């Protein structure tokens, strides 16, 4: 099976039922596959972070901060958003005024605790070199 133009909404469980007919006996086999999508995004401090992760089968979103050992629930279907700067708009989980504490990994879980999406979020920085501003070391002047 090949999924073209993969989207976050493609994440989840796929069940393949195979039926073999070896002339003497009909054999059936069921295989289950869990498709987890991993993405990376870089956000500037103070900007809005929009995560398109509230899928039909999303049960909760947890955040594993870079500087923390535990996981914190940021959103759940039963309780909604859990942080002050967080809102929901158009199936997107939005973090306003992005800070370094928002960096880390966001795991989007289904009702069975399986990971649907794993999003690694880093802070993009603007560095000054020779009095000129460069973004992300790609030598683009601002």
Model confidence, pTM: 0.74
Of 127, 50, 133, 123, residue with least CA distance to 91 = 50
Report the pLDDT value the prediction gives residue 141, as an integer from 0 to 100. Answer: 39
69 pLDDT band (50/70/90 cuts)? confident
- DSSP type of residue 98: -
User: pLDDT (tens digit, 9 = 90+) per residue, 3-31?
Assistant: 888 888 888 888 888 877 765 666 778 88
Backbone angles phi, psi at 67, to 5 degrees: -100, 20
Tell me what pLDDT residue 91 has.
85
Is the pLDDT confidence value at 44 over 90? yes
Query: CA 73 to CA 75: how far, in whole Å?
Result: 6
DSSP symbol at 70: S
CATH number of the structural domain 37-135? 2.60.40.10
> What is the reported pLDDT for 129?
46
Nearest to 73 by CA among 108, 42, 119, 40: 108
What is the domain partition of the chain in residue ranges? 37-135
Q: Which pLDDT value is given to residue 116?
A: 94
């Amino acid at each position: 099976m090949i999924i073209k133009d993969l989207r976050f909404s493609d994440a989840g469980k796929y069940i393949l039922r195979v039926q073999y007919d070896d002339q003497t006996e009909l054999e059936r086999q069921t295989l289950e596959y869990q498709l987890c999508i991993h993405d990376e995004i870089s956000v500037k401090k103070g900007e809005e972070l929009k995560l398109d992760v509230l899928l039909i089968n999303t049960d909760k979103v947890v955040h594993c901060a870079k500087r923390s050992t535990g996981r914190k629930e940021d959103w759940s279907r039963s309780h909604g958003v859990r942080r002050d700067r967080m809102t929901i708009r158009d199936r997107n989980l939005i973090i306003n005024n992005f800070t370094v504490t928002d960096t880390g990994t966001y795991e989007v879980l289904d009702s069975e605790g399986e990971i649907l999406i794993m999003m690694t979020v880093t802070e993009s920085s603007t560095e000054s070199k020779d009095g000129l501003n460069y973004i992300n070391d790609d030598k683009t002047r601002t």
